[in-house]
Amino acid sequence: MPQLRKDPVTKRWVILLHEQKKLPADFKIEHAPKQTNKCPFCPGNENMTPVELMSYRSENTLPNEPGWQVRVIPNRFPALQIEGDLDRMGLGVYDMMNGVGAHEVIIESPNHEDGFHNYSSEQISRVLHTYVERYRDLSRDRRFRYILVFKNNGSAAGASLDHPHSQLIATPIIPKRVMEELEGAKTYYYYKERCVFCDIIRQELSQGERIIHENESFVAFEPFASRFPFETWIAPKDHKDCFGDIDKSEIDGLADIMQATIKKLIKTLDNPPFNFIIHTSPCGEHCTDYFHWHIEIMPRVTKIAGFEWGSGFYLNHMSPERAARFLINPNYKG
């Protein structure tokens, strides 16, 4: 019989379908053909991109030239633009403002064929340090209320270029998905005087059946009310609301668990397209008591259709408990 599960943070319901026990190979993944045109993100093509904002590079190399390990540039086709004032206004019942924000691309490696699954821990640490530096810099801009760091890996996940990269968008409003988490976490805190994410992490560590990896500082697990097959969250074990407050030792631990987790997903699902998104507290908001930053990783192995769009429910053909077994044990047959 199908099972309904409720997310304790957002109060969103998920339908787990048990009419057939799917295996990882049952999720057919369509891989787009490799791009053959000249890649603007490859070394030597720096003149094809906007001027870089920052980079990690070898000594005695100049900006906008080869020699970099990680490079940040403005998006050539930004969703929001950095210049201008918000100029909030109303038009009857409608609210408007100028599309002011920031949209940046983090080119994660000079190697076109690289990816999080085969980066060294040092390279992942460089990428994470870049996220943190750009987050801290943009959070000082009082026009911005939220900074979203995310990665689209593969064309089915929204990537327009094969070269490994992630993106950052700073917005003058708090996104709806984040507001749902904030409101749910705040309600839980006022009722129980505890962080709901901390309670989830404690329970997952205690039960163990949905944990796929952990180290001293972080834990990776399949959430109880997973929206998608093999949806995976990574969260710090200690309570911390803002991703920008992470320190160097924590970055090394995060690099370790991200590498291990993404390797498991890629091996189990045969290199699926995926998204990951860093959920953090809004800029300047006092969420210290009740919010807990985390990363959500979503392999794109199923499609959202009319029922999901119309109802807000999600249909998931793979329970998080079975997904965890496949990810932990490559020989598990289901």
Q: Out of 108-112, 259-263, 314-318, which region has the weakest mean confidence (pLDDT)?
A: 314-318
Q: pTM of the entire structure?
A: 0.92
pLDDT by residue (tens digit) across 266-319?
Answer: 999 989 999 999 999 999 887 889 999 999 999 999 888 898 889 888 999 899
Query: Cα separation of 35 and 296, whole Å?
Result: 27
For residues 255 and 285, the model is more confident at 255
Catalytic center residues? 165
Indicate the average pLDDT of the chain: 92
Residue with tokens 């079975």: 322
Closest CA to 75 of 46, 104, 55, 54: 104
Q: What is the pLDDT of residue 219?
A: 98
pLDDT of residue 87: 87
Is the pLDDT assigned to residue 196 strictly greater than 90?
yes
CA dist 104 and 53 (Å) reads 9
19 has a pLDDT exceeding 60:
no
**Would you state the pLDDT for residue 32?**
62
Q: What is the pLDDT of residues 132-189, one digit of tens each?
A: 999 999 999 999 999 999 999 988 888 889 999 999 999 999 999 999 999 999 999 9
Residue 131 has pLDDT above 90, yes or no: yes
Q: What are the DSSP E strand ranges found in 160-266?
A: 165-171, 211-214, 218-221, 232-236
- Do 72 and 50 meet the contact criterion of CB atoms below 8 Å apart? no
Q: What are phi and psi of 321, to 5 degrees?
A: -70, -45
Residue 197 scores a pLDDT above 60: yes
- CA–CA separation, 40 and 48 (whole Å): 5
- Encode pLDDT of 62-84 as tens digits: 999 999 999 999 999 999 989 88
277-288 burial code (b ≥16 CB/10 A, e <16): bbbbbbbeeebe
pLDDT of residue 36: 65
Q: How many CB atoms lie within 10 A of CB 210?
A: 22
Position 224 scores a pLDDT of: 97
Is residue 1 pLDDT above 80, yes or no?
Answer: no
Residue 230 identity (one-letter amino acid)? F
For 218-250, the pLDDT digits (tens) are 999 999 999 999 999 999 999 999 999 999 889
What mean pLDDT is predicted for residues 33-58?
90
Per-residue confidence (pLDDT) for residue 157, from 0 to 100: 82
Question: What gap in Å lies between CA 216 and CA 101, rounded to an integer?
Answer: 36
pLDDT value of residue 331? 79
At 303 the pLDDT is 86
Q: What domains does the chain contain, in order, with CATH numbers?
A: 3-28+45-84+100-328 (3.30.428.10)
pLDDT value at residue 40? 95
Provide the pLDDT confidence category of residue 211 given band limits of 50, 70 and 90.
Answer: very high
Closest CA to 9 of 175, 165, 173, 223: 223
